[in-house]
Amino acid sequence: MIPVTPLASEKPSALATDISERLNAAIREHLLSAFAPDSTKSLRSFSAPEAAELLGVSGQFMRKVHAEGTIPEPEDVRGGRRYYTAQEIWNAREILEKSSRKKGRYLPRRSGDEKLQVWQLMNFKGGSSKSTTTIHLAHYFALRGYRVLVVDLDPQGSLTSMCGISPEIDFDGLTVYDAIRYDEPVSMADVVVPTYFPGLSIAPSRLMLSEFETESAVHSNPDQPFFTRIRNALSQVEDDFDLVLMDSPPQLGFLTIAGMAAASSLIVPLTPSMLDVSSTAQFLELAGAYMGVIEDAGATLQYDHFKFLITRDEPTDVPSQQLTSFMRALFQDRVMSATALKSTAISDATMLKQSIYEVVRSEMTRATYDRAKGSVDAVGHEVETMIQQSWGRQ
């Protein structure tokens, strides 16, 4: 336990420093206990029905390909039941894709002239579930065979922590800041690291990323405008991925705007409350003004999709449903059909730095789990449909 001592009371600066030191020590102790002994995360195994669902096949088909020796038996077989690691499912995809008559059935990756999908999630209202939505989309697509890169543009590093890297405890690796800084930037390929989740890599963040805001405010070289920094960094690794998901900070600064200039599609998550809707209106007013400024400066902004996503949706809450209906009537298909439900299952998972896909169904009330997973699956499926449309696929 951390010893309790009186807080400093002389100067505000001393008080703030004291509180910061205590919080950092407490957070460090909590994280070390959560991820001890080596501070790494691991992913659970998936049952045979789950594996079949992820591969888009029947249980009978799975038994058949195992009997024929088409795909190897998983290492974990208990009581005659098969349990697969995510890597074993990934390997099965590659094997089945080779013999599939329909190209892309098991590995729905982009090919030919299909462009890299870069989706930015942004809003300057805290609590809009940007990071939660980003990690759930990342896991949804990785589990379905896409090569996914998440870029954490928030100096707080919440998404980085969700991906198994804790900026709070002894993380001194390269971050996205190192790839987009003005002085001697490193290659984005050196920044990107694979996660414990097969198919998912991350360009991590930590507090140093906030320096980009300061540097961009004073930088005056017209050959290196700030809004090209993220786009240029992503171009260095685009051949390695199908989808990039960017989690923006809760503010409309240089990082968010540079992300907008790099994005091919935008999602604005918002909760159905009048305060959040009003805040989002102000955010978009400012965003529109900034978009005009950087377009005048030579940036080309073209989005395949610009969508609102209702998050923390409560179907039984009448006022929130009225606001949701208001948004749908006003913006029609700009509002995604799927919503992200407010769920104790998702909240509990997030507290443990997990997505719903990492939770074992039997460890919580099954009806609660099924509603939560059904919700995030629906959001992922709708985004996947839009990505397929962007690639010109039926």
Residue with tokens 């939660």: 132
Amino acid in the structure at residue 380 = G
Within the chain, residue ranges assigned H as helices are 12-35, 48-55, 59-67, 86-99, 130-143, 158-162, 176-180, 188-191, 211-218, 229-235, 254-262, 274-296, 318-331, 344-351, 366-390
CB atoms within 10 A of CB 38: 5
Residue 293's pLDDT is what? 81
Give the residues of the chain that fall short of pLDDT 70. 1-20, 23-40, 125-126, 167-171, 394
- pLDDT of 209 reads 94
User: What is the model's pLDDT at position 37?
Assistant: 47
pLDDT at 1: 47
For residue 19, the model assigns a pLDDT of 66
Residue 84: alpha-carbon gap to chain centroid: 24
Task: Round to whole Å and give the CA distance between 123 and 129.
Answer: 9
Q: How far, in Å, CA of 215 to CA of 209, rounded?
A: 10
Please give the single-letter amino acid code of residue 299.
Answer: A
pLDDT, tens only, 124-167: 766 778 999 999 999 999 999 999 999 999 999 999 999 988 76
pLDDT at 305: 95
> What pLDDT was estimated at residue 200?
98
- Gap between the Cα atoms of 383 and 141, Å rounded: 10
